[in-house]
Amino acid sequence: MTMIATQQVTMQLLGGGQTVTILQDVTLEIPDKQTVAIVGPSGSGKSTLLGLIAGLDRPTSGSIWLDGREITQLGEKAMARLRLANVGYIFQSFHLIPTLTALENVSIPLELTGDSHARRRATELLQAVGLGHRISHYPVQLSGGEQQRVAVARAFACRPPILLADEPTGNLDSQTGQQVIQLIMALHRDAGTTLVLVTHDQQLAASMERVITLRDGRIGSDQLTSNDGNGSGGQI
């Protein structure tokens, strides 16, 4: 089953009076539950592609499907509803609401879905990420690693089938970053999500089942790794 698909996605922006092409004719399919790393040099379009998949922006041309639904023509409200139910997103800079506690930050997506047990679910998630003792703390009272753990808990709150992570360890030291990745992978396995992450970390990329390399806005290579479940890598 294909969980994510893009067809000839192109993204162009105006800059300095000129049209700048960020992505050019990107076509790919990602099956259910696969773990994928998107890598490439800075400026190659990695984060732009991830944001388009999440429906945070619209491509200049091309089509994107999430869980069998074409999203590029959806209105903002419909896209927000689909994203709430289907996509968890982890930002490099955490994006926690500073005036809310850890518990309240994780509760928000659950409350938006009308979950009457939002606080209980949020508490369980914070306990699962090792922050049961920090639920009443505000982001400013948490370390970078703790803030990212809250962000991970929030991304998994609604049990989304798709998890997207944009440089989830980029603002963390190596030891804390490793802990966060182990946490993401454990939750991924437990929830059976499709995981797509953008990273500059080659070791992290190699731990995924598949590595897609972007170069100048195009797919330069698309490789299965030895983590593909059958012990053998290969080109897609």
- Assign 3-class secondary structure to 180-226: HHHHHHHHHHHHCCEEEEECCCHHHHHCCCEEEEEECCEEEEEEECC
Token pair 């879905």 is found at 113
Are the C-beta atoms of residues 231 and 214 closer than 8 Å to each other?
no
What pLDDT was estimated at residue 14?
Answer: 87
- The helix/strand/coil state of 64 is strand
| Residue 73: partners with Cβ closer than 8 Å, 6 or more residues away | none
Tell me the residue type at 213: T
Closest CA to 106 of 92, 116, 96: 96
What pLDDT was estimated at residue 229?
Answer: 45
Are the C-beta atoms of residues 211 and 220 closer than 8 Å to each other?
no
| Residue 2: partners with Cβ closer than 8 Å, 6 or more residues away | 29, 30, 31, 32, 65, 68
Show the domain range for 201: 2-235
Provide the CATH number for the domain around residue 14. Answer: 3.40.50.300
Whole-structure pTM value: 0.91
Q: What percent of the chain has pLDDT over 70?
A: 96
What pLDDT was estimated at residue 230?
Answer: 40
What pLDDT was estimated at residue 171?
Answer: 86
Closest CA to 200 of 22, 46, 27: 46
Tell me the residue type at 8: Q
- Number of domains forming the structure of the chain: 1
Q: Per residue of the chain (236 residues), give pLDDT as tens.
A: 899 999 999 999 987 789 999 999 999 999 999 999 999 999 999 999 999 999 999 999 999 999 999 999 899 999 999 999 999 999 988 999 999 999 999 999 999 999 999 999 999 999 999 999 999 999 999 999 999 999 999 999 999 999 999 999 888 888 888 889 999 999 899 999 999 999 999 889 999 999 999 999 999 999 999 875 443 344 44
